[in-house]
Amino acid sequence: MSQEITGRVVDADGHVMEPADTWLKYIDPQYRDRAIRIAFDDDGYENLLIDNRRLELVRGHLGVLGGIGMDPVALHQNGKMTYADGCPAGGYDPKARLKVMDEEGIDVALLYPTIGICWEGMVTDAKLATAYTRAYNRWIADFCRENPKRLFPTAHISLLDPEGAVEEVTRARKDGCIGVYLSPDMAARGGKHFDDPTYVRFWETVQDLEMPVGFHVIVRDQPAFQGWLHKDKRDRLFGFAFLAIDVMAAFTQMLSWGMFEKYPRLQCTVLEAGANWISAWLDRLDHKYEVMSSYTPLTMKPSAYFYRQCLVSADPDESITAAVVERVGAEYFVWASDYPHVDASFGVVKEMKERLAPLSPEAQRLVLGENAIRFYNLSV
């Protein structure tokens, strides 16, 4: 007979569905004519417009950006489902979100954007990028003020504008944001690597502010793995699965290039790439480090930095999470609902508890909520 686990349940990566007029309302006035918005073209297709250019990947089926509990085939049919069709009220209405959380058994949610994971890479104007993030951060802070003990905003920060990133993360922290979402892809940073000298002040600032950074999957017309694509419908399964690669690459670069060595108080969460791979990946990094250590800036094995400064988020559908948690250590894992995206589902707390059932009650409590509370220093 399984033991009922008590303790706070924290969704470490839930999403909002930004209202279509978010940027029009919240952006600095001088950028309003370039605000992110949704509009129909002459052919009747709905488009996501970024600096007045459309994101081709979602033209005619913006509903797929949300879509929890809906037919994914219908969502992918051009022109059939709008952004609004795919948006449950819990995506944009904080009162409705709290009701969903109550129904699901979620006590606390850390919130990330949806439209916000789409636009970087298309924007080359650094100041506009910061204006986009500032507008979103203002809105999400307002959203979470409905219940600041249960809803926690994560600030979206663009590294395209290093000085603006420092200013905005400092402002967002004062406005209640508890962590930072960073796009993992090179295009979002104008081709710069994380150890570029222009980012020193940013990394120093986020570690001083005690704001963990999180890498999350992204939506792009030109993904980093585009050379592998057919440019037709066959790409959809491959591309959807491979969204995790950017996140894994960003985390690996941060670790192997010595970012956690240089910034020992910097914390990082690896999101929406699953967690069952982490044990094998740390083993691989440690093994390769044995022959490459003289070429790296690291003074410890790669896994040691993970244990000191990182968490990884498990997905409810992963099948061997309990064994991986037992192997790596329960204090290094959180979990995520991904609500209200098309690949999310309802009943995920029950599913996660079933996945974690082979572990001790204490280990289950850590993964289900206590790790996130500690890592983000949440006032709950």
Work out whether strand 37-40 and strand 10-15 pair parallel, antiparallel, or are unpaired.
unpaired
pLDDT digits (tens, 9 = 90+) for 136-190: 999 999 999 999 999 999 999 999 999 999 999 999 999 999 999 999 999 999 9
Alpha helices in the chain (DSSP H): 22-26, 72-75, 89-92, 94-104, 126-144, 162-174, 200-209, 235-256, 259-262, 278-292, 302-309, 321-328, 348-356, 361-365, 371-375
DSSP 5: P
pLDDT digits (tens, 9 = 90+) for 275-304: 999 999 999 999 999 999 999 999 999 999
Return the bridge partners of 53, or none.
Answer: 50
Asked which of 34-38, 225-229, 349-353 is least confident by mean pLDDT, the reply is 225-229
pLDDT at 3 over 70: no
- Domains defined for the chain, CATH in brackets: 10-17+91-375 (3.20.20.140)
Distance CA 85, CA 2 (A): 40
Give the 3-state secondary structure of residue 85: coil
Tell me, what's the pLDDT at 228? Answer: 82
Q: Cis peptide before 340, with omega less than 30 degrees from 0?
A: yes
